[in-house]
Amino acid sequence: MSSLPPKLTPTEYLEMLRAEQSSRSGTSESNADIIPTDLVTRDGQAADVIAAPPPPSDSSGERNGPSRSERSGEVEPSGGSSHSSSSHSSSSHSGSDDAGNGSEYVNSGRGGVVRKSRRPASEVARGDKHLTELFERVNALLGERAGDEEEPFRPPVPRSLQETGLTAEEIERLVMKYLLQRGAASGREVCSQIKLPYAMIDPLLNAWKHEQLLAHKGAAEMGDYVYVITDRGRERARRYADECTYFGAAPVGLRDYLQAMEAQSIAHQQATEADLKRAFSDLLISEDMFERLGPAINSGRGMFLFGEPGNGKTSIAERITQCFGKAIWIPRTLGIDGDIIRLFDPGVHEEVTDDEGEGIFDLSGVDQRWVRVVRPTIVAGGELTMAELEVTQNLQTKICEAPLQLKSNCGTLVIDDFGRQTMPVDVLLNRWIVPLEKRYDFLNLPSGKKIQVPFDQLIIFSTNLEPRDLVDGAFLRRIPYKIKVPDPSREHFQKLFEIMAPKMGLVYNEEAVNYLIEEHYEKVDRPFRNCQPRDLLLQIRNYCAYREKPKEMTPESFDFAVENYFSVM
């Protein structure tokens, strides 16, 4: 639940002004309000009031709370009319004003008559020249932004309930459960919670108030109200909560999700050599490794990364998604036949936030039910279980959690330490053998329905074991690329020390590194590993700090580090 006031789109704000002006011009005699004659209309034109009495006041002489029509500007008269109220005793009649613009005289019901303009609402709303110029400028800026946008998919703000794919009852469930927990909230706070436009929700709130499910607690800013749930509404909300406790962002339909994944598919992305070097800029990768990684990444299919432990398989796998760059849009939640599936996971998704400033306007033009995230890279290690690959439902809250492959769509899913999971390898392979071939998956929902969803990610199996010892030929055929991450050469090994030393706050000493290689590697026939320079330098830094010695690489410090590091290796 957000504590920040919800922002308005410029279009929404303009429509709100137009609605206020429209209601002013169309107010019936039963609800026309008369306000003090020293006020003028928003566009600077004085409305004619005939014998308007003063507003009611309390004992202190102060006026009682304004009515909704007064706050929204339904009637904003000023003095300047000298007609007598007795000459307009009929409920309403037509006449002409001095300027020749048609107008209608209506009995206010309080001893006064109001002349209402017949100008169209659109003309009234554009009466203020400065306001018109402002909105024209904002719309021009939004148009330029939309034209410059290179994203293949960007969810637009829904303009109607039909465009959301939701029904009024589905929205009612969310709002009632939210107010049941919150107690009271303004209409805009409700919209901020469920991520839908205020112009769409305000009529529903009024309808629920008419049904006595909600009540007004007080007035809020910009013509809004603070709503509280009634006893009748509370009883209904409890029934909704028994079915599912979720009351967050309104869900996105499966069809909209499928269209978004197709537009942002990782299969449509192509990584160049420059993209790879940018993504792996913080790692020391040989040109030969780049030549093998590039085609495998562009395939958009699965790959095996295998080799000895400590050579950087996991580090390579975690950076592959960065080759594709950019971010993607995913729904916060999916709604499928009444089941709520939570898709956005802050634990694995990194949200991309735009600096929109502190104004009242939301200039993004984006459906807030969606969230922009960095192309996901999800790593699952030895703790991976079959339950994480299926839709799971919390039996208490009735909220479903999306499986890992759904959360990683349009990104990368890394199965680290493949072969060391608690579940048998053949169980995992049998679960994915068809999705890897067809690039789509079938998920079973708690309701019993089975749905087809994209299996659109780069699957990377990282293992210290030989792939042929883990899986059979049928599965290996579906993983077209098997890339071995080799041990580093001597030159590569020395370069790693040169790169890592300054990061550890140590002074690089080439002679000390040569001593290490000759005495502790070549003499004992010990293989090089990419992780060892970092690990040995950490030992030296801690040793120097303890002995209060200068942080430098010496043969003595390497002797100490090797004795500790390789004592049982």
User: Which amino acid belongs to residue 4?
Assistant: L
The model's pLDDT over 278-292, given as tens digits with 9 standing for 90+, comes to: 888 888 888 888 888
The model's pLDDT over 229-239, given as tens digits with 9 standing for 90+, comes to: 999 999 999 99
For the segment 420-435, the average pLDDT, to the nearest whole number, is: 83
Find tokens 């589905």 and name the residue: 170
DSSP 150-213: --S--PBPPSSHHHHT--HHHHHHHHHHHHHHHSEEEHHHHHHHHT--HHHHHHHHHHHHHTTS
pLDDT at residue 428, rounded to an integer: 84
% of the chain with per-residue pLDDT over 70: 72
Question: Which region among 94-108, 261-275, 507-521 has the lowest average model confidence (pLDDT)?
Answer: 94-108
Residues 6+ apart with CB under 8 A from 470: 418, 419, 425, 463
Question: Looking at the predicted structure, is the pLDDT value of residue 28 above 80?
Answer: no
Pick the more confident residue, 234 or 5: 234
Residues 6+ apart with CB under 8 A from 151: 326, 329
Instruction: Kindly state the helix (H) or strand (E) to which residue 217 belongs, with its residue range.
Output: strand 214-219
Question: Residue 453 and residue 277: Cα distance in Å, rounded?
Answer: 33
**pTM of this prediction?**
0.71
- Which pair of tokens denotes residue 234? 């509370």
The model's pLDDT over 433-485, given as tens digits with 9 standing for 90+, comes to: 888 888 899 999 998 899 999 999 988 988 888 777 887 777 787 788 889 99
